[in-house]
Structure 1
Amino acid sequence: MTGQPTAAQLGARIEAHYRAVAAGPMADVPICNPRLSVRLAGLAEWAGVRVAALVMPWAINLLILPGDAPWQEAESLAKIRWRFPSGDYDFVYGSDVGFGPYQVCSLFSPALEFDSMEVACDTAAAALTALLRAPVEPPAPQAAAGRRRWLFGRSPA
């Protein structure tokens, strides 16, 4: 990725930025879960962009970040629909001084239902995995018909 930070560098920038936000403007805000801190729970390359799962005391989000593909600029707060293997999802465009342009999709906001950082990170990582995986197709109707034939003593045709 020419001119792009490594995944580790990008992750460190994102975490540092949101740790400062957690210690500053979001400190003692009632929607913050005191059991959560800031952690990038996963980062994957997909279709020329980077997709991340981010846990913060006030939210769990998916982020789309620039990668090898040309990055399309948009106005702040513009909604952009992305088609992932698992379906279509709306992301909101933003830019941050600490790590640059991004798009965000909120999974939990606030994130008060999480009892531990481990569970929050596992949930965020599972959401990222599910986002990038096509849904499993249900079994074909013939399978059910074949079982009925077997149950009633008829051999499969």
Structure 2
Amino acid sequence: MSSVLKRYVTDPARHLEAVFRDIERTRMAGLPILNTALTVEAIGFTPWQGHWLGALITPWFLNLVLVPGAQGEWPHAAEGERIVRRLPAGDCNFYGCFEPVIGEFHASSLCSPMSRFADQAAARAEALYRLDAWLAEPPPAEPAATDATDGERRAFLRRMIPAGER
């Protein structure tokens, strides 16, 4: 893996699409895992903590992808090394990836293989749904019952049961 980190000032979607279309034509050509109803598409990329977070659809996988932006600390992860990133919805397992044209990036598998999708629209809808889910803040937790509430229940029951029957 190259030690040079490529940083993207603008949305990296077109770079990802070009590289993964080339991978589809070369490394993945003819493999039965490909869903021929799908095409490579990088969607929903948005700035996140100084980097670019979005979804990458290919005929063989759907991944959440994090690409180095112009700002922000970038934790190096060797190819295949797991790195946990805290997203708004919680901790997400990413893996270190490297492609010479793109440089280092992190990916988290959302779906593979892609045989469950009938068409690109279905894959796109799933990608955007999953991306939105990871970027959504979790709802506030329900407050736990307090001892005071339990105590009030016990007192109520004590009043209802005659003293001799307790």
Q: Give the TM-score category using the shorter length.
A: 0.7 to 0.9
Unmatched runs of 5 consecutive residues or more in structure 1: 143-157
Compute the TM-score of the two structures, normalised by the length of structure 1. Answer: 0.81
Whichever residue aligns with residue 8 of structure 2, its letter is: Q
* Structure 1 residue runs of 4 or more that deviate by more than 3 Å after TM superposition: 137-142
Aligned-partner Cα distance in 2 for 1:138–1:119: 32
The equivalent residue for 2:93 is 90
Deviation at residue 139 of structure 1 after TM alignment: 6.3
Q: Is the 8 A contact 1:41 1:122 kept in 2?
A: no
Question: Which deviates the most, 123-132 or 71-80?
Answer: 71-80
CA contact (8 A) 1:84 1:131 kept: yes
CA contact 1:63–1:105 (8 Å) conserved in 2: yes
Larger radius of gyration: 2
Q: Between the two proteins, what is the percent identity of the paired residues?
A: 30
CA RMSD of aligned residues (A): 1.7
CA displacement, residues 28-77 of structure 1 (integer Å, 9 cap, x when unaligned) = 21111011010012101111221110000000000111111022222221
2:106 aligned with 1:108: no
Corresponding residue for residue 26 of structure 1? 28
Unpaired runs of at least 5, structure 2: 1-6, 146-166
Number of matched pairs:
138
Q: TM-score, normalised by structure 2?
A: 0.77
Q: Give the match's secondary structure for 2:22.
A: helix
Aligned to 1:4: 8
2:53 matched residue in structure 1: 51
Give the C-alpha shift of residue 136 in structure 1. Answer: 2.6
